[in-house]
Each structure stands twice: as structure tokens, then as C-alpha cells.
Structure 1
Amino acid sequence: MTERPETPMLDTVHGPDDLRRLTSEQLPQLAEELRAEVISAVSVTGGHLGAGLGVVELTVALHYVFDTPRDRLIWDVGHQCYPHKILTGRRDRIRTLRMGGGLSGFTKRDESEYDPFGAAHSSTSISAALGFAIANKLGGAPGKAIAVIGDGAMSAGMAYEAMNNAQAAGNRLIVILNDNDMSIAPPVGGLSHYLARLVSSGKYLTVRQLAQRFARKLPEPLHNAARKVEEYARGMATGGTLFEELGFYYVGPVDGHNVERLVHILENVRDADEGPMLVHVVTKKGKGYAPAEAAADKYHGVQKFDIISGEQAKAEPGPPSYTNVFAKALIGEAERDEKVVAITAAMPSGTGLDKFGARFPERMFDVGIAEQHAVTFAAGLAAQGYRPFCAIYSTFLQRAYDQVVHDVAIQNLPVRFGLDRAGLVGADGATHAGSFDLAYLCTLPNFVVMAAADEVELVHMVHTMALHDQGPIALRYPRGNGVGVALPTSPERLEIGKGRIVREGKKVAILSLGTRLREAEKAADILESMGLSATVADLRFAKPLDEQLIRRLLTSHEVAVTVEEAAVGGFGAHVLTMASDQGLIDAGLKLRTMRLPDLFQDQDKPEKQYADAGLDADGIVGTVLKALRINSVGVVEGARA
């Protein structure tokens, strides 16, 4: 079912100014229509569904009460912002979500003035909002800053670092804690249990409201004394709050799906002079769409789906995903070695470690959205003789780089890093692309860095990691499915720093790292058809380099090209450095490096992204021909006819 819902009230709202012309009694109907529009749009485009459905009423109330965009509304992560986009003038493009040239699936500064701060990673909103609030304070400008942060994002230390400094913002800063009892997977750790206790305290608002009503009837000296009584009453009802200890005036828990009541509470918060405020809003992920309510984790991010049944479009049958191959291989290692343990930072299903956890529940640790902690926790396990596999998306490991350097590399601890989503990632765009891991890991002493060319290589590399106790080791692999090669019945241990020749030639050498290997082979076929014999090598290791193999290829071919799915500073840069150090450049070598362009690529289909980056077969051929000064029809450029 793809028919658009009837939305007569929403049709009149082209921006927040139109929304504010409605009466508060009209808002529940608007919220109902907005939810229907989100469901309809995402059924066509795919994308993040559950989180957005959970904040429909909250989104309506925030734009109704606050003077956006003068009041800065900052969404943490941003994957719940589809209702926000619809209400802020982007409804006509909402069915282009996550497509090439379409709307981003997250907030994005250059997309709308209503997106004051871009996001896609977690736990940044309070720090950013504090910056906006202080800037307004210093400049004497009006306007508040409102950070909307999910309970899962509150497991990251950065949120508390910001809250610890929030007093300086005074009443210009408001934090909305969107407590949906989920981030992507069910939340973990003491904080989630603490919030659950607050939510379960049904007496809280009643006690507080009675105290406030009583206090307002008293003369000023007694009013101040009664406020102390109110604070004591709140402590009796809730056991105190961590947030108030951090300097926030805590309001809640409140029902996040009663839009009229939300408006009333937010108006009071807006007009209060209590200093920084935190409003604890309880919502349900997937609210209003039964399939998403019943399986919030499965409907966090969805393919296109049928609205009536909720059934998502199934991918065409094909090879297993690299993530699943990694998970299966890691389970095999754990079956052979009881010292193998696995760690994820709030992404058990995204990294495949949910399968590991089902098999070895005592040996899988989900630490929440806390990549820094995950890395140092893994370092501690390694120091005690265990073999920790820390599976984190490449883009998220950036958040823990100091820990990788200080706690792992300097101490030469054998932590195993599984870097999922390496390279370009399609619809999630620049924020989730694993572009930089080769650059930021290959510079570190003691590290071994591998990249799998296909699913067989991935299995062998997981086994190699498990047996490598001499220091830290990382394995990068992409999002999506493998190439369809049969998986080995038993894994092999690879020799560290040794690559392999895939095909032999004489004139051109293509040195591939990672899953561009198939494009390198296609390029070799094209070159062969033009009379240019090509060697293709899978280097396997970005660090240490197979210097013997590389030297042989560079000295026995007229032109050599390195190919990698990463930014400048990685594999190709290290090959260039090696060639320079060994005097090969001086010998007139035609060496070219191919890598991701020096820009942040927007979302699109992965194959289109790689073609735009020049990292497909045609791009490789073009680089070779340019190095040889041959045009596309085989004529040497500059030669006389």
C-alpha cells in the first residue's frame, strides 16, 4: 500500500508559523496526520522509522511552543527528525529521503535553517546546544537552545561533560530527555535502570504539583521556604535525581504522547527562570504503528514496506553479508578458544554480535553508546590474557581514537578491532562512511591493519586475528553482501604482512586493498583487451606492507596503481612513502594512488558513490591510460598521426 493518507490539517502547515496558528485542541489531529505521513513516506523510501514515530507529539509541541528557528532545536543523532523535516518546509521532498540528491536521513545544516546543527553520531546535542546558548548570552541575542537527546545517547560520557558545564547558560538551555527505553537495541547499564525507576514513580508529578500550588499561595518569605519543602518532597518521591546534582532543574517524567499536556509543560519550562532545565519525556518507539510498536528494534531502520501488513521488502537472494560472515567466523573462534570475548558499543545487531551473544551470552558485552569505554575495557581484558574482539563501525571508532592510541597501541595490547561499514555506505551518507580508518590506524606503531577482499578472506582474517597475540590488530570490511565465493570449511592463518598475486601480467600492476579487488580484475580485463597486460595483487595488509611483493611489482611494470576504499593517508600513501624511502621514485616509476576524493560524499547508491569517486573499473583504467599518456582509443597522447 503506497497511497498517501488524507491529511487536511497537515496540508495547511508549510512551516512552524502555520503550526502556531492552530489551537492547542487541534494539535492531536495534526499529530495523527503527521504520523500517517511519516509512515507513508518511509514505506516508499525506507529509512529510520521507529524513532521518528515516537517523537511525533514532541516534535509538534516543540515547534508550537518555541520560536524556531530563532530558538535553536538540536536533535541528537538526528535519525528521529523526519517529522521535524515535514513540519519545517520539506514535506514536498520527504519521499526523497536518503536518495541521491534527496533529503538527508539526518539533520543537516545546509539543508534548512531549521537544522542549526548537523548530526548522525550520538550524544553531541547538549554540547552543541550549550554552545548556541552561550553564544546568544555573550551576544545579547534572544533565543533558547533546546537539545533533544534519547536515553540511549545518555550512556555516552560526552552528554555528562556538557551537563557539567551547563550552569553558565542559565535558562537559555533546555534539555529534552526522550526516554523511549531504546536506542537501537534495548538499553544497557545502570543509567537505563535509573531512568526506569524514575518513570515508575507514579507519585512524582502529583507531589510536586501539590507543593508548587501550595507555595504559590504563600507570601514571599514563606514561598521560599516552601520551595525547600517541594525539593524535599521531590527527593522523597524519586530518591533524588542525578540531573539535579549536575545543576539542572528536573521536570518529569511526563507523557510524551499527550501533545496538549506537553505544550502546557513546555510553555512553563520556556518561561521559567530556574536555570538549565531538563524535561524527562517518556515515549514509545514506533508509537502509532502496530508492527513498529511490537518490534521496535526491527523497525528502527527499515526497507520499503507494506503499510497494512508491515512486511518489509526482501532483498534479492544472494551471498551473505560481510557482517554475518564476520559473526559466524567469530563464533567459530569462540568455540575453539574460551578466551575469545566480544564487545560492541550499542550495535549488537549492526555488528552481528547479537548472534555471538545468543551463543555465548557470558562472553558478549554491549557497553552502550560508549566507544571510548569499549576500547579501554577491551584493553583491560587483553592485559589480563583474554582475546577481545571489539566490533565497532569504522566511523564510530573515530570517537575513541585517543583510547586506541594511549590505552592500546602504546601498551601494545592485543585488542582485535572489527571495523564494520568500512568504505562508502550508501544511503547513510558522509556521517557513516568508514573513510578514515586506514589513515588513522596505519600511522600507529605496533598495529597490524588488514582489509578483506571477499568473504573467504574475511574468514581467514578473523582466524588470523584470534591467533595474533603480539599487539593490536584491525580488520576492515564493508557494508553489504559478499561476492558469492564459497566459504572455507576451515579457516587459515595468514602470514602477517604478506599479500597475494591474483593474476600475472607485464606492463601494468594494480595493487588492490579490500573489496575493490573485483573492480581491479575487471579493469585488468579491459586493459588486456587494449593490449596492456596487467598484474592484479591483493595486498591484504595495509600495515605492515608486503615490501618484497610491492618492490617486485613496482620495478617490473611500467605503471603501478594502488586502489583502496579509504581517504588519502592510508594504503597508497604508505606505498608512496616506501617507494620514496627505497629510491624507487628516482628510477622514473609511474606510480599512481587511487583513493576516496578529498570531500564528504553525500548519500547515494554505493555503486554510484564509488563510480563518482573513480574507484570502479572504468576509473582504474582511466588512471592507467593517463599515466601511460594513452587516450581511450589506444593512441599515445601527443603522438603525430
Structure 2
Amino acid sequence: MWDFVSDQPKTPLLDLIESPADLRRLRESELRQVADELRTDLIDAVSRTGGHLGAGLGVVELTVALHYVFDTPADRIIWDVGHQAYPHKILTGRRARMRTVRQEGGLSGFAKRTESDFDPFGAGHSSTSISAGLGMAVARDLSGGKNNIVAVIGDGAMSAGMAYEAMNNAGALDARLIVILNDNDMSIAPPTGAMSAYLARLVSGKTYRGLRDRAKTLSKILPDFMREGARKTEEFTRGFFTGGTLFEELGFYYVGPIDGHDLDHLLPVLKNVRDAQNGPILVHVVTRKGKGYAPAESSADKYHGVAKFDVVTGTQAKASSKGNAPSYTTVFAESLIQEARDDDKIVAINAAMPSGTGLDLFGEAFPTRTFDVGIAEQHAVTFAAGLASEGYKPFVAIYSTFLQRAYDQIVHDVAIQHLPVRFAIDRAGFVGADGPTHAGSFDTGFLVPLPGMVVMAAADEAELRHMVRTAALYEDGPISFRYPRGNGVGVEMPARGEALAIGKGRVLVEGTKVAILSFGSRLADSLAAAEELETFGLSTTVADARFAKPLDAELITRLAREHEVLLLVEEGATGGFASQVLHLLSERGLMEHGLKVRSLIMPDLFVDHASPDAMIKSSGLDKAGIVDAVFKALGKGATRVMQA
């Protein structure tokens, strides 16, 4: 498929497709070529931009088959875990923009309602498709519609309880809904070649379903003692050959497993379930993550999300770093390993993100003390609470955006019971190309209201090491620490962390007129801003709050009393650290004597994907934004006066 002269994939059939309507004009015999061309085009696009690759490669044939069989966008296809949606984007009029994916002003890396009519429901987190699809199916029925609703769930999303809650409800409602289980990790029941495909086609067809429905009708006139036996006999017979008893118990008609890369298997089954007129159906499709690209097939984790890479060799571009600064994730993992060597009560928990959270390293060192619970953040938190109740020291490492899903468990199972669970909150703040679905905006705001919760934020990689040590030693209730994505700022690293005094900040630079109080990742820019302000004659204090709860009331009071301007800086949404400080200042009457207080926080909107630096700049949280905020607080003429 590749033209190595121009280094562009040749895609004559794909070039004809501007929308799925064009795809449906082709002959079935041409779809194999379309799939091959789609796969090479996907590889080429992602090699130039970076992004999610493995999951998309695994659903190429499934995507072609779905858009060929179903009348999209009238028929709704809901992609769970947006990583799978790249081939879908190419076939639905966005191919020309695929080289802009995850770039500022370009396509989202996930399904997005505002981007296309072919994206009926957005997806950034997982396990939502069946719930959303059921809602659409019920809305269709209430409106008298006839269109199909298809939820494609996979990439580990079936490990989340929400998927089963939705299936249980769909089965109880007997809703006409199609669920495609894209089984691309460990097959629930491995396909057995031609026989499996034959059975799937048989049980999804009208003849079998007609016989089954007539058998159900007949069973209603049987005596009670025979009726249940007949039902179980049919269920057992089909389950014996095809599997799927769990889904049947939830009320779904199970079809599969079938080879998700064989269009000859996929097309007839999808046509059969499309034409079914009643009840929920689950089609179990087995695919291979990274299919068709050898480097991705051999290393599914490495090629789940990729930087730009060389198509021929598979070599990925190295991420830029600040000098030799380590990543925050690595610092967390290595620091936790240090603590765990001296304390066998320390255990670590993640929710299907061992490498993303650094706990793959911890797992290598302590395999029996590391727990990956799957995409089940709620369970992760309560599981940790159970461990803590028995005297263990659980560290729950979850991205900020995913921790939101476990808030009820944090409140009821941890905070109310005052259990010492340690929350390591990765990807706090802006995350760049992953955009608003993955931004770590709200964790400080939803944790600080909880009585007894200690809330910290690391200003740099050394502070993160101190906070891991602090959390390991702290036993008087729950404690959290947040840290950003990417590399540290290049500070000197201690050999081991030191326990911090709970609720105490630190002053790095002393001044007299302006005070900048930073919480977390904006400290380096705050220090740079102070240097620039000094050139204008503005003597500036810079302090690192370290804690949003408990606040360092003594430090904050001194800064408010001794300075004309107090600037509060944090990479978080409203309701977080700055809100806590403003409340304290108000309670103590410190805003009544001319103090000019300004808070710099994330804007009150969901910021679209861009580079992290661009997102920081547009939000006014960089050095220039901090300097500008000081001058605005001092008045319009401040800049002229200082320059003069």
C-alpha cells in the first residue's frame, strides 16, 4: 500500500469516500481493500501527529462494516473510549483534517458532538456508551422512531461497573439496542474459526430467532414445572456452543464470539442484528489491538498512545524535556518505591493505568503489593479504604480527571470514616493534546470541602518527593497530593523526601510591595514574574503554599498585612485553593484595609486541546500573565510609573 518514493500511502478506493454514503455505494468485495487503505492512512496520519494508534488499528474492519451496514448518521454509532474513533473520523468526512488531530485548532482525539453529526455522543472517559445508547434508544421509542442505536464498547471498558448497570437496565426494559463488545485484550471466549463464525451467523439470523420466539410462546402454555426447564435447556444449548451466559442473564441476546478482522464474518452478523426488531443484542467481536502494524501488534501498551514516529522502523520521537529533569510520574514511582522498601504496609492501587501512573515500576519491585483493578475508579477507592481499615497504607494513583468518578466513595468510604488513604493525583492541571476531557481541573475544589482531608500540591519534582514521604508517614486521616503531567522544572533532587509540617507553606523570596502565593505547578513562573517585577522597582515576595487544606493561616495573614498586592496563583478551577484563601481573608477582616487581592486560576470554561504552554498562556497563568495581573491590580498607570 505504500509508495516509498513519495512516502504517501496509495489509497484509490479511500479517496472516493467523503462520507459513509460513498462507502455504501461500493461492492462488498471491495471492502477488504478499503480496510487495508484505511489502516495505512491511519498509520500515516498518526505517525505525523502522534495520538492513539493501537485501539484504532484494531477496529478498522469493524468500522468499515458498521458504516457499510448501518445508515449513519441516522443510525447512531456511539464509540466508547474515544481512542477507537480515529478510523471512524476518516470515514466520516474528516480525513483531510486527520493530520491536525490533537493539535491546537485541529480535530479532537476523541468523539465530539460539536465536531460531526456522525459523533452522536462524546467520549473521553470509558464505559459510558451503553448508558448513552440506552437513553437514545428510549428517546427513539418515545418519539416513534425506527433507527438503530449501536454502542461499541471495548479497550478494557467492560471492566467498569457502569457498563453492567446499563446492561441490566437495558435488559429490564427489553430495549432495542445493539452493543458491540470489542474484545481486544483478553477474550472472554476465544473464537474457534469457521465453526464459531457459522454459529454466530446462525443464532443471529431470522430463522433461529424465529424458532426461539415460537419456543418462548409455546413455553407459556406449558405447565409451570416444564416451563423453566425449557428455558434453561435453550439457554444452556446455545451457551454451550457460543458462551455469553452472563450477558443472557442481564437480558441481552448474545451473538459471538466472531473474528473482528474478517469482513465475511462481520457483515452477515451485523445485517442480522440490524434487522432484528426486538430486545437488546450483544455481538462479541474479538480483535487485536495494533492489528496490521507489526510494532503496535508486538507492543500494545507502547503503541496505545504514541508520539510522532517513523512508519518504517516504528521508532517514536523522544519527548522534549527540561534539561535532565525527570517526569513527575517517574519521581512519584521512585519515591514510593523508596518508602515501600522501609514499610511493608505500603501498597499501591491503580485503575487500568499502571504505566501512566508509574505503578508499573512499583509493580516490578513489589508485585504482591500492587493492584490494578481495571477501569473501576469507584472500586479502587473503596478497596483502598478496606486496606486502610486493616492497618495498611494504600496509595491510590489516579489521574485527576478520572478521580472525579470516585467522588462518592472518597466522601463516604474514606473521609467520613477518617481512613488514611493516600491519593496520588497525576495529570493535575492542563494536559495539552488530550483536551478538556482529561484536564485535571477540579480535584482541589472537590477535595478541600471534606472535613479531615489534607490537600497538597507539588510545586516541583523535589516537592513531590517530599509529599510522597509526608503521605507515607501521615496516619491521621486521608491525604492527597497533586502533580502535573510531563517533566519537572530541573531543581536539585534530594536523595530522599523529608516529611513536611502539615499545613505549613514556605517563602522563597522576600519583598515588601507585592506577594505572590502559588499553589502547585505555577511556582516557577511566579519566581520568574517576581524577577521581572523587581526590574520595575516592585519588591516582590514569592511563597509556595504547599497546602490548600489545612491552609497556612499564619503565612497568609502575614502576606496580606505586609503587602499592597496579594496574588493567588493555581492551575485549577474556581472553588479550589484561591477560594479557600479568599474565605480566610474575609473571615479575618484582612480585605478591609486596601489590600488588593487577585486570583489567577483556570478560566470558567472547558479549554480545547492545544500545547500545555499555549493553554497556560491563554489562561494568563504564565510569567507574562502574572506580571500583567500585578500591574492591573496596582492601576492603569503602574507600568508607566515603574518604567519612569
TM-score of the aligned structures, taking structure 2 as reference length: 0.93
User: How far off its partner does 1:238 sit?
Assistant: 4.6
- Structure 1's 423 and 221: CA in aligned 2 closer, same or farther, altered over 3 A? closer
Equivalent in the alignment of 2:493: 487
Number of equivalences: 626
Contact 1:320 1:482 in 2 (8 A): yes
The separation in 1 between residues aligned to 2:531 and 2:541, in whole angstroms, is: 10
Give the AA of the match of 1:174: I
Judging changes above 3 Å, is the alpha-carbon distance between structure 1 residues 198 and 6 closer, same or farther for their aligned structure 2 residues?
Answer: closer
Specify the alignment match of 1:84 in structure 2: 88
What is the aligned partner in structure 1 of residue 130 from structure 2? 126
**C-alpha deviation, 1:79, in angstroms:** 1.0
Aligned to 2:75: 71
1:515 aligns with 2:521: yes
Structure 1 match to 2:268:
264
User: After alignment, is 578-587 or 237-246 more displaced?
Assistant: 237-246
> Any idea what the Cα deviations from partners look like across 1:427-473, whole Å, max 9, x if unmatched?
00000000000100011110000000111100011000000000000
CA distance in 2, matches of 1:602, 1:429: 5
Spell out the pairing of 1:257-296 with structure 2 (5 A cutoff).
257-296=261-300
The offset of 1:214, in angstroms, is 8.2
Taking structure 1 as reference, are residues 42 and 169 closer, same or farther at Cα in structure 2, changes over 3 Å only? farther
Q: In percent, how many aligned pairs have the same letter?
A: 64
Counterpart AA for 2:300: A
**Are 2:534 and 1:542 aligned?**
no
Moved more, 625-634 or 85-94: 625-634
Counterpart in 1 of 2:456?
Answer: 450
Matched, 1:116 2:120: yes
- Give the whole-Å Cα distance in 2 for the aligned partners of 1:222 and 1:450: 63
Structure 1 residue 234, shift from structure 2 partner: 1.2
> Residue 243 of structure 2 contacts residue 256 of structure 2 at CA under 8 Å; is this kept in 1?
no
Give the AA of the match of 2:609. Q
State the partner residue of 1:404.
410
Whole-Å separation in 1 of the counterparts to 2:212 and 2:336: 69
Unmatched runs of 5 consecutive residues or more in structure 2 = 220-229
SS in 2 for 1:587: coil
What is the alpha-carbon distance in structure 1 between the residues aligned to residue 95 and residue 13 of structure 2? 14
- Kindly state the Cα deviation for residue 487 of structure 1 after the two structures are TM-superposed: 1.4
Q: Is the 8 A contact 2:411 2:450 kept in 1?
A: yes
1:178 and 2:182 aligned: yes
The letter for the 2-side match of 1:246 is L
1:185 is aligned to none
Give the Cα separation in 2 of the matches to 1:55 and 1:366. 25
Change (3 A) 1:488 1:16: same
CA distance in 2, matches of 1:404, 1:383: 14
Residue 214 and residue 438 in structure 1: after superposition, are their counterparts in 2 closer, same or farther (change >3 A)? closer
Alpha-carbon deviation of 1:635?
Answer: 3.6
Q: Does 1:38 align with 2:42?
A: yes
Cα distance 1:260–1:214, how it changes in 2: closer, same or farther (>3 A)?
closer
Deviations 1:569-596 (A, max 9, x none): 0110000000000011122211111100
**Alignment partner, residue 188 of structure 2:** 196
Q: CA deviation at 1:526?
A: 1.1
**Contact conserved, 1:148 with 1:178, CA < 8 A, in 2?**
yes
Q: Which amino acid aligns with 1:137?
A: D
Which amino acid letter does the alignment assign opposite residue 268 of structure 1?
A: N
Spell out the pairing of 1:584-595 with structure 2 (5 A cutoff).
Answer: 584-595=590-601
2:239 counterpart letter in structure 1 = G
Instruction: State whether structure 2 residue 625 is matched by structure 1 residue 619.
Output: yes
Deviations 1:541-594 (A, max 9, x none): 111000000000000000100000000001100000000000111222111111
Question: Does structure 1 retain, via aligned residues, the 8 Å contact 2:536–2:642?
Answer: no
Segment of structure 1 superposing worse, 232-241 or 505-514: 232-241
Name the SS of the counterpart of 2:605 in structure 1: coil
Q: In the TM superposition, what is the alpha-carbon distance from 1:77 to its structure 2 partner?
A: 1.4
- Cα displacement (A) at 1:196: 3.1
Distance 2:176 2:211 in 1: 28
- Report the residue type matching 1:165 in the other structure: N
Counterparts of 1:387-398 in structure 2 under 5 Å? 387-398=393-404
Match among 135, 141, 148 for residue 152 of structure 2: 148
Cross-structure match for 2:12: 8
2:427 alignment counterpart? 421
Q: Which of 60, 67, 84 is equivalent to 2:64?
A: 60
Residue in 2 that maps onto 1:608 = 614
Tell me what 1:189 maps to.
none
Query: 1:578 is aligned with what amino acid?
Result: L
- Determine the C-alpha separation between the residues in 2 that align with 1:634 and 1:460: 42
Point out the more displaced range, 40-49 or 233-242.
233-242
Q: 2:191·2:259 contact (CA, 8 Å) conserved in 1? A: no
Deviations 1:3-49 (A, max 9, x none): 32010000000001000000111100000000000000000000000
CA deviation map 1:83-111 (0-9, x unaligned): 00010000110000000000000000100
Shift in alpha-carbon separation, 1:489–1:392, aligned structure 2, 3 A: same
Partner of 2:482: 476
- Give the counterpart of 2:52 among 48, 51, 65: 48
Q: Distance in 2 between matches of 1:78 and 1:243?
A: 24
Q: 1:305 to 1:218 in 2, by over 3 A?
A: closer
Deviations 1:505-548 (A, max 9, x none): 00000000111001001110111111111000001111100000
Mapped to 1, the partners of 2:445 and 2:210 lie a distance apart of 65
Say which SS state the counterpart of residue 281 (structure 1) adopts: strand
Q: Which moved more, 1:493-502 or 1:581-590?
A: 581-590
Q: Distance in 1 between matches of 2:143 and 2:212?
A: 36
Q: How does 1:167-566 map to 2 (within 5 A)?
A: 167=171, 170=174, 172-181=176-185, 195-197=187-189, 199=191, 204=196, 206=198, 231-238=235-242, 241-316=245-320, 318-566=324-572
Q: Report the secondary structure of 1:469's partner residue.
A: coil
RMSD: 2.3
Q: Contact between 1:28 and 1:260, CA under 8 Å: does it hold in 2? A: no
Matched letter for residue 402 of structure 2: F
Q: 1:167 to 1:491 in 2, by over 3 A?
A: closer
Mapped to 1, the partners of 2:365 and 2:117 lie a distance apart of: 48
SS of the equivalent of 2:592 reads helix
Paired residues of 2:102 and 2:609 also in contact (CA < 8 A)? yes
Q: 1-side partners of 2:521 and 2:89: how far apart?
A: 36
- 1:3–1:40 contact (8 Å) kept in structure 2: no
- What is the aligned partner in structure 2 of residue 580 from structure 1? 586
Cα drift, residue 290 of structure 1: 0.5
Aligned AA for 2:96?
A: D
Output the amino acid matched with 1:11. Answer: D
> Could you give the per-residue CA deviations for residues 94-129 of structure 1, whole angstroms, max 9, x where no partner exists?
000000000000000100000111111010000000
Matching of residue 571 in structure 1 with residue 577 in structure 2: yes
Distance (Å, rounded) in 2 between the aligned partners of 1:564 and 1:217: 63
Q: What are the ranges of 5 or more consecutive residues in structure 1 without an aligned counterpart? A: 182-191
Taking the TM superposition and a 5 Å limit, the aligned residue runs for 1:89-100 are: 89-100=93-104
2:597 maps to 1:597? no
Give yes or no for contact 2:335–2:496 (8 Å, CA) kept in 1.
no
The one-letter code sitting in structure 2 at the alignment partner of 1:414 is: P
- Report the CA distance shift for 1:208/1:84 in structure 2 as closer, same or farther (over 3 A): closer
